[in-house]
Amino acid sequence: MLSNVEQILEEFGERVTRLAKINIGATRLVKNRKGNTVKRKIDFSGKLRNSISYAVNVFKNSFGFYIEMEDYGKDVDQGKKAGGAPASLPRLENWIRKKPARLRDSKGSFIKMTDLRVKSFAKHISDTHQKYGTAATNFISEPFSAEFKKLPDELIEAFGLDVDKFLEQQFND
């Protein structure tokens, strides 16, 4: 049987992860560095979305709540400043091959996707991210903050009930 604190934190974790998964799968309108508004999906492959989970640990006098996801999830959520470490070229190349995108030349005509062009495009993406950084998506920060604002009163009340139960058990033993 879950304690009151565990139950509140479990419900909190369910709400936060559900909202984060909705946010990451949504198509958004964003401005690119040229100032044009374009449609972008945060998580094309679904790998990051599927990796989002939470863990709750409740002890006698404390508790812990953890959100787990792929390593790069933090960078997607919070963005990266310009001048950071360059992106992994092999990972970018793999992403380009999987993404249903077609390469274009400088005139805008579609061109064949050769290994050399994929490598060149991956290098361009890496350089651009290093020069300009990446924008924050807040796909998990926003739901966490919104749900956290609802949490304190419920949690304090539940933690108080659990302390009462603990004290009652101690006096009965």
DSSP 146-159: HHHHHHHHHHHHHH
User: Which residues does the chain have with pLDDT short of 70?
Assistant: 1-2, 33, 61, 152, 154-173
Q: CA 98 to CA 95: how far, in whole Å?
A: 5
Cut 0.75: pTM above it: no
Among candidate residues 20, 59, 26, 62, the one with its CA nearest the CA of residue 41: 26
At residue 42, the pLDDT reads 81
- Partners of residue 67 on adjacent β-strands: 54
Q: 33-72: b or e for each residue (b if 16 or more CB lie within 10 Å)?
A: eeeeeeeeebbeeeebbeebebebebeeeebebebebeee
Q: 4-32: b or e for each residue (b if 16 or more CB lie within 10 Å)?
A: bbbbbbeebbebbbebbbebbeeeeeeee
Q: What is the pLDDT of residues 103-147, one digit of tens each?
A: 888 898 999 989 999 999 999 988 988 888 888 888 999 998 888
- Partners of residue 40 on adjacent β-strands: 28
- Partners of residue 38 on adjacent β-strands: 30
Host H or E run for residue 98: helix 89-98
Helix, strand, coil proportions of the chain in percent (round to 5)? 55, 15, 30
